[in-house]
């Protein structure tokens, strides 16, 4: 069994013992029949045709033919590790989640880092967002914090996610470019959908080319809600901070590394853990009383906005250490299924429309990616908390349920588990309003925080950002699209727009944009009208 060099075994590790397989015994077929030759197929005569009755040959080839499963529709390329999380002090004032209230508990975790746009075989050091997804195997069930290395997102409503991803992914006719932000469709989307602007500033910054997964921040992005034992809610934003500090590569390095070692980040994580230099991250929380929901001039439900740390400082609450590499990439890193809706008592959602969409999307995609409804039984996904319910059958069912009943209520006994005491209860938020298909007015300012981000950069960081815009936008063939993006950037910062324009063959904007926070712009309305 693979143990961390510290000899650590936790609930998850012990559970995995039942699934770990070391090949030592005699070679057999999948049905356990011993075989003594795996080099030659059964043929009619030494030089004759292969026989259909060669069940060993057919089974081996058939299994191989079915080895691949669909890659994730986004975040296809990743690297994972096990470890543990421990809270510093009880957070019982805010949440009833046991793993956040008991400092003596070491909660096992599995973390998967990823790039977003590239396919499974793409290179690590591309300009892209990085995923930072953590599964906590708590004694009250699995909790997944499915975050990124940037604190905001490109879109405000999940209904735009397919549009956005279609614009980001390789262009459908030729699948070029494989994993870069340098193409017409992305910039077309950005120019027409200015809510992307804040995140695009992060994407063009050095944050998009982290040096190592060990030197990368993570963010839950959305505002979530903690709920205490009395049912009182507190808004929360999650932050992971790496112990080693936050470091990036520079663009030139990324290009060379991508050629020489496309596994650069993946290798670094693996080797650091093998060497015993365990990556560590501190979990921090911005805690916001519900009474302060409207105190910060931004809508907490808008995932394109941060809550400035000057206004709500990040409170360090706990530490995560990654101290064990997986035994098998496919079984664990590939088959792990994160989901924003995997929550435990004491952690709840908000009405952020992006989060609401995610709460639908992950389970939906995993049903097809992992072949049916039983993927929570896979070793890496299986909770250490007991699982008992009336769900039955389906592809990949590994449990042998006994008894005649699988419904509730029943008076015959047998299959039906009792309703749990101390259950998950949703926060009792009052909800009313007319049914509308309309973006909230409080979501309309697309520029202030993009400007805030730009203003926070040092001169050399701004230099890198301008170079990135010039390189990536400069690859866009359509003049009109480049022009529109520059016009958008003029709302962020006039100097930035002029600097970028000079590098992408577009006339620099002559005047500063009238601050309109993106509510309307003649160029944008024109472009949208032309599309209709
Ligand atoms: C992966 C959908 C927004 C972080 C995925 C996957 C889907 C998806 C379908 C593949 C999951 C799988 O096959 O197991 C969406 C939708 C979004 C959205 C519909 C918006 C409506 C976000 C945001 C973040 C994020 C805002 C970060 C805060 C991740 C991460 C993964 C992922 C880290 C990879 C998980 C892993 O390592 O397996 N997303 N996503 N996504 N998403 Fe999202």
Residue range 407-435: mean pLDDT, rounded: 86
Choose among 232, 324, 243: nearest CA to 283.
Answer: 243
**Percentage of the chain lying above the pLDDT 70 cut:** 94
* Substitution site in 199, 304, 330, 361 for ligand 1 pocket (most atoms within 8 Å of beta carbon): 361
| Of 180 and 165, the one with more pLDDT | 165
Q: Ligand 1 mean position to 365 CA, how many Å?
A: 10
Residue with CA at minimum distance from ligand 1 atom 18: 358
Question: In this structure, what token pair is assigned to residue 512?
Answer: 């500063």
CA of 74 to the centre of ligand 1 (A): 7
Q: Is the CB of 353 under 6 A from ligand 1?
A: no
Rounded Cα gap, residues 407 and 112, in angstroms: 36
Provide φ and ψ at 220, rounded to 5°. -75, -15
Provide the pLDDT confidence category of residue 524 given band limits of 50, 70 and 90.
Answer: low
State percent of the chain over pLDDT 90: 87
- Which ligand 1 atom lies nearest to the CA of residue 336? 38
Is any atom of ligand 1 closer than 6 Å to the C-beta of 133? yes
Q: What whole-number distance in Å separates Cα of residue 106 and Cα of residue 112? A: 19
pLDDT in tens, 197-231: 999 999 999 999 999 999 999 999 999 999 999 99
**CB 327, CB 2: distance < 8 Å:** yes
In short, whether 284's Cβ falls inside 6 Å of ligand 1 is no
Q: Quick check: 243 pLDDT over 50?
A: yes
369 C-beta closer than 6 A to ligand 1: yes
Q: Determine which helix (DSSP H) or strand (DSSP E) holds 12, and give its type and residue range.
A: helix 11-17
Does the beta carbon of 161 lie inside 6 Å of ligand 1?
yes
pLDDT digits (tens, 9 = 90+) for 2-48: 455 556 789 999 999 989 998 878 999 999 999 999 999 999 999 99
Mean pLDDT of the chain: 94
Q: Is 362 in the pocket of ligand 1 (CB under 6 A)?
A: yes
Residues 321, 492: Cα–Cα separation, whole Å: 39
Mean pLDDT value of segment 40-61:
97
Q: What b/e readout covers 345-357, taking b as 16+ CB neighbours within 10 angstroms?
A: bbbbbbebbbbbb
Residue 530 has pLDDT above 80, yes or no: no
Task: Answer whether 523 contacts ligand 1 (Cβ < 6 A).
Answer: no
Atom of ligand 1 nearest to the CA of 75: 34
Residue 148 catalytic? yes
CA of 72 to the centre of ligand 1 (A): 9
Is 455 noted as a catalytic residue in this protein?
no
pLDDT tens figures, 99-155: 999 999 999 999 999 999 999 999 999 999 999 999 999 999 999 999 999 999 999
Q: What is the pLDDT of residue 176?
A: 87
Using a 6 Å cutoff on CB, does residue 366 contact ligand 1?
yes
Q: How far is the CA of 503 from the centre of ligand 1 (A)?
A: 33
Pocket probe for ligand 1: among 71, 72, 80, 149, the residue whose CB has the most ligand atoms within 8 Å is 72
Any ligand 1 atom below 6 A from CB of 155: no
Crossing angle of helices 479-492 and 459-474, rounded to 10°: 160
Pocket test residue of 359, 362, 369 for ligand 1, highest count of atoms within 8 A of CB? 362
Whether 317 lines ligand 1, by a CB cut-off of 6 Å, is: no
pLDDT digits (tens, 9 = 90+) for 436-452: 999 999 999 999 999 99
Q: Considering the entire predicted model, what is its pTM?
A: 0.95
Q: Is the pLDDT of residue 413 over 80?
A: no
Which residue's alpha carbon is at the smallest distance from atom 22 of ligand 1? 358
Least confident range of 16-25, 124-133, 237-246, 510-519: 510-519
Residue 90, pLDDT above cutoff 70: yes
CB atoms within 10 A of CB 296: 15
Asked which of 171-180, 247-256, 306-315 is least confident by mean pLDDT, the reply is 171-180
**Catalytic option among 142, 148, 149, 490:** 148
End-to-end Cα separation, the chain, in angstroms: 62
**pLDDT value of position 1:** 41
* pLDDT of 520 strictly over 60: no
Atom of ligand 1 nearest to the CA of 114: 37
ipTM of the complex: 0.93
Atom of ligand 1 at shortest distance to CA of 159?
21
- With cut-offs at 50, 70 and 90, classify the pLDDT of residue 386: very high
> What is the mean predicted confidence (pLDDT) over 356-369?
98
């Amino acid at each position: 069994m693979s143990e961390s060099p510290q000899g650590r075994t936790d609930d998850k590790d012990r559970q995995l013992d039942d699934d770990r397989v070391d090949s030592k015994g005699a070679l057999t077929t999948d049905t356990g029949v011993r075989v003594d030759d795996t080099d030659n197929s059964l043929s009619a005569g030494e030089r004759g045709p292969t026989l259909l009755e060669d069940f060993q040959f057919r089974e081996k080839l058939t299994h191989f033919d079915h080895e691949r499963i669909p890659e994730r529709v986004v975040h296809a390329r990743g690297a994972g590790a096990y470890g543990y999380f421990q809270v510093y002090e009880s957070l019982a004032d805010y949440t009833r989640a046991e793993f956040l209230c008991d400092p003596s508990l070491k909660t096992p975790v599995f973390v998967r880092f990823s790039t977003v746009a590239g396919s499974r075989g793409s290179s690590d050091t591309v300009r892209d967002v990085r995923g930072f997804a953590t599964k906590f195997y708590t004694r009250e069930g699995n909790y997944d914090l499915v975050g990124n290395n940037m604190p905001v997102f490109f879109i405000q409503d999940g209904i735009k996610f397919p549009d956005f991803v279609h614009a980001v992914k390789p262009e459908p006719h030729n699948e070029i470019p494989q994993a870069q932000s340098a193409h017409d469709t992305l910039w077309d989307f950005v120019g027409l959908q200015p809510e992307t602007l804040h995140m695009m500033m992060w994407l063009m910054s050095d944050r998009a080319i982290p040096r190592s997964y060990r030197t990368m921040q993570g963010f839950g992005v959305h505002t979530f809600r903690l709920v205490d034992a009395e049912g009182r809610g507190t808004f929360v934003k999650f932050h992971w901070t790496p112990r080693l500090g936050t470091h990036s590569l520079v663009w030139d390095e990324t290009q060379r590394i991508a050629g020489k070692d496309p596994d650069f980040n993946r290798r670094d994580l693996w080797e650091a853990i093998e060497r015993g230099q365990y990556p560590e991250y501190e979990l921090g929380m911005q805690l916001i009383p519900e009474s302060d929901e409207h105190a910060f001039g931004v809508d907490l439900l808008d995932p394109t906005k941060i809550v400035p740390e000057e206004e709500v400082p990040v409170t360090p609450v706990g530490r995560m250490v990654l101290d064990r590499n997986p035994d098998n990439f496919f079984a664990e890193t590939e088959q792990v299924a994160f989901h924003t809706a995997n929550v435990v008592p004491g952690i709840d959602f908000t009405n952020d429309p992006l989060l609401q969409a995610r709460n639908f999307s992950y389970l939906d995609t995993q049903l097809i990616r992992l072949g049916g409804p039983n993927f929570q039984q896979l070793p890496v996904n299986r909770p250490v908390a007991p699982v008992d319910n009336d769900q039955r059958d389906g592809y990949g069912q590994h449990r042998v349920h006994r008894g005649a009943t699988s419904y509730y209520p029943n008076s015959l006994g047998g299959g039906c588990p009792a309703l749990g005491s101390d259950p998950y209860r949703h926060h009792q938020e009052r909800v009313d309003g007319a049914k509308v298909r309309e973006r909230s007015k409080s979501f309309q300012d697309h520029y202030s925080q993009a400007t805030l981000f730009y203003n926070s950069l040092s001169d050399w960081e701004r230099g890198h950002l301008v170079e990135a815009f010039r390189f990536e936008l400069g690859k866009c063939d359509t003049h009109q699209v480049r022009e529109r993006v520059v016009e958008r950037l003029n709302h962020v910062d006039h100097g930035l727009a002029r600097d970028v324009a000079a590098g992408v063959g577009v006339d620099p904007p002559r005047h500063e944009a009238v601050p309109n926070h993106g509510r309307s712009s003649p160029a944008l309305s024109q472009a949208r009208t032309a599309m209709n």
